[in-house]
């Protein structure tokens, strides 16, 4: 467990869990590392929906393989939500996912 991940877990607790759950930052990391059933999906959705810096926290808490899997599953249910598509573009570097946020250049 690195301090970098711990700091992200603390930030996620403050931004995404408004006293609804009795979790610590350390417990979040333990549940992620132990692959607690359903927890990755749960945490991912809390970050996507509530975080001020979702791309940063997701990149720092999830491996790229897990992140991609969770993201693709989440996108199936996002119903073309702009915020979700923008987060997806930031996480995958595929900016075609959020074309309305791209610079328009005319020649």
Q: What is the pLDDT along the chain (107 residues), one digit of tens a residue?
A: 456 899 999 999 999 998 788 999 999 999 999 999 999 999 999 999 999 999 999 999 999 999 999 999 999 988 788 899 999 999 998 888 888 877 655 55
- Domain-located, residue 107: no
* 77-to-3, 24, 81 alpha-carbon distances in Å: 33, 29, 9
Tracing tokens 């915020």 back to the chain, one arrives at 83
- pLDDT at position 6 is 96
- Domain-located, residue 22: yes
- Domain-located, residue 28: yes
- Domain-located, residue 104: no
- Domain-located, residue 49: yes
- Domain-located, residue 101: no
- Domain-located, residue 65: yes
- Its domain, for residue 13, covers 3-94
- pLDDT at position 1 is 45
- pLDDT at position 69 is 94
- Domain-located, residue 15: yes
Whole-model pTM: value is 0.86
From 21, 75, 76, 65, select the one nearest 43 (Cα to Cα).
21
* Residue pair 91/59 in contact by the 8 Å Cβ criterion: yes
Split into its structural domains, the chain has a count of 1
């Amino acid at each position: 467990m690195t301090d970098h991940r711990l700091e992200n877990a603390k930030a996620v607790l403050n931004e995404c869990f408004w006293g609804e759950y009795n979790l610590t930052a350390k417990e979040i990391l333990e549940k992620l590392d132990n692959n607690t059933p359903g927890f990755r999906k749960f945490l991912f959705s809390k970050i996507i929906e509530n975080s001020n810096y979702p791309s940063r926290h997701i990149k720092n808490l999830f491996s790229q393989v897990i992140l991609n899997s969770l993201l693709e599953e989440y996108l199936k249910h996002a119903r073309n939500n702009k915020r979700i598509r923008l987060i997806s573009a930031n996480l995958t570097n595929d900016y075609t996912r959020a074309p309305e946020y791209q610079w328009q250049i005319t020649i």
